[in-house]
Structure 1
């Protein structure tokens, strides 16, 4: 199974080819006249122009983690950026029952759309489905519902792709070293997102003949990251590379590495925190790369909710409606491109 990431140049070439084909199809009809395909699109200017005011309800989990805090703040900033959006923000919570009541309140208030990052996708599915049945489009962010009828659109980070990106980077750095010792510091093993990240990582390493030698799991906290990394370093006297799934717990991971005085390996992080990017910029850390898991997902959800509520399309696509499912990219950030991405980073 080949899982190598497509290069940016290759992606642009393929995109260009696809648009060229689309252009040909749009221009070729039985009568030789131009198709109306392109006419269904809103232009970027039309999308940016203020329309009828739409009321969007937003509910997300408690901001007890740097990435989650960035999710909430970026959603609010997105709402503020549109003069025709009234954003109603519910208090962040990790209580599924409270979040259900928040969705019910939005429905009773008759909002035009709901953007929801559920604390538990399965637990919020029924409430979201009822909102949809009431004619209110729901935009599902990050943690998926268990029914396709619970959301008009879903926007996700690419957990499997994160693992592929991290593994591909390590393969490129250690190519040909069949005996390389690769360590993995995962998040919470019971979560599907952690399982997806680990699966992508293993698949990418397998593609270049490598595999994970030592693996531990933390809990997405600084304390957990420090504790399991101390155990890992004690068990593995020599390591060539480490992938840590989460930059928030990475603060503890780096603390344990510093305390052990170890620097014979390089490390790749995950999520894209500002402190991780500053470590990369410094050039003095074992952390030399991190893989983005976008904290802009809810902000993108707000933008999509506005388009859907106003009956607009996505200006760069030929399809005459907003896509049902969007999966964001998981790029690798290194010293070569960190200056382009640090503006989007979140503080741990």
Structure 2
């Protein structure tokens, strides 16, 4: 894609069998609140003792968005934790041709393992296949390649689960309110991830017959579009009870529009887990009451998985000798009751 709008940063699940990261995978990011630490140290690896030296090539995104920057930082910080790990990191790119060239350079350097968050999973599938054929295992991070042969392990977020848990939270808050109304500020509609989030949200609301979704507006995961599209929603909808916004970065703009309109007659649920959203939830002095996580700590877990692959180890807490083929992270709901536990993982 040309400058992939911040939009396609999150991956599409192509139906690969997924293992919940909520299981006791100590080599991957834990969603257990009490284990939350700094963004890059939220979990211990399968074996923290130095082992065989491993060179990990990391090809990530251009850090033009808070979540994307957090992805890159989590990878760097996690690799620095291990004295035997060398991280060969490319300059992040949202241009598919540029990223293919960067990955081919890492292949030519004969790194031991590759961690790739592709600018476009489908477009970069061939370079993933090239790495695998060269004997370099690939950890496919979030935006999935079109072929499972292009990676050894996929790890990423759960877009359907985000919508489902957002809908459940809103449903529980409004379950006793007759004729409750909700609105949705989505991402870009031509992205499968946006459709998955909306589908999960709609499926959850089916369990609450008293709640009706009265409006939906698609934004573009930016502050500016969030503000503009939210202003349109507010103008069109003079009364509603809850708002689900797919992304905390576009949510900054949405909150500006809400403040400018002087509206406080509803509550808002965000998505992704930015620090600014968690700070607002903790302050509890505005409409934002919760956010549904899409954890950038997945990049730290990808480094753990790459290290385990390079050292021919499995995942701590599991009996298998090999790492899983697929890991889907859980989309926890952060509220004022648990925000302190998740704040260390909030991205800027």
Quick check: TM above 0.5? yes
Note if contact 2:45-2:304 (Cα within 8 Å) is conserved in structure 1.
Answer: no
1:11-160 → structure 2 map (5 Å cutoff):
47-160=47-160
Matched residue, 1:264: 265
1:161-207 CA distance string (max 9 Å, x none):
00011000001000033511100000111111111110000000112
Counterparts of 1:159 and 1:285 in 2: how far apart (Å)? 26
Instruction: Give the deviation of 1:47 after TM superposition.
Output: 1.6
Give yes or no for the alignment of 1:253 onto 2:254: yes
Counterparts of 2:322 and 2:245 in 1: how far apart (Å)? 38
| 1:311/1:215 CA distance change after superposition, 3 Å | same
| 1:45/1:59 CA distance change after superposition, 3 Å | closer
**SS of aligned partner of 1:48:** coil
Matched residue, 1:37: none
**SS of aligned partner of 1:104:** helix
Matched residue, 1:222: 223
Counterparts of 2:111 and 2:212 in 1: how far apart (Å)? 50
Note if contact 2:70-2:296 (Cα within 8 Å) is conserved in structure 1.
Answer: yes
- Taking only aligned residues, the RMSD between alpha carbons, in angstroms, comes to 1.6
Instruction: Give the helix-richer structure, 1 or 2.
Output: 1
**SS of aligned partner of 2:343:** helix
> Computing the radius of gyration over CA atoms, which structure comes out larger, 1 or 2?
1
Matched residue, 1:19: none
Give yes or no for the alignment of 1:234 onto 2:254: no
| 1:103/1:46 CA distance change after superposition, 3 Å | closer
Note if contact 1:307-1:313 (Cα within 8 Å) is conserved in structure 2.
Answer: yes
Instruction: Give the deviation of 1:213 after TM superposition.
Output: 1.2
When the two structures are aligned, how many residues end up with a matched partner? 308
Instruction: Give the deviation of 1:118 after TM superposition.
Output: 0.3
Counterparts of 2:73 and 2:337 in 1: how far apart (Å)? 28
Structure with the bigger RCO (C-alpha within 8 Å, sep 6+) is 2
Instruction: Give the deviation of 1:54 after TM superposition.
Output: 0.5
**SS of aligned partner of 2:179:** coil
Unaligned stretches of 5+ residues in structure 2: 1-19, 25-43
Structure 1 ranges of 4+ moved more than 6 A: none
Counterparts of 1:211 and 1:238 in 2: how far apart (Å)? 12
TM-score norm. by structure 1 comes to 0.86
Counterparts of 1:312 and 1:200 in 2: how far apart (Å)? 35
Matched residue, 1:165: 165
Counterparts of 2:48 and 2:298 in 1: how far apart (Å)? 19
Instruction: Give the deviation of 1:46 after TM superposition.
Output: 7.0
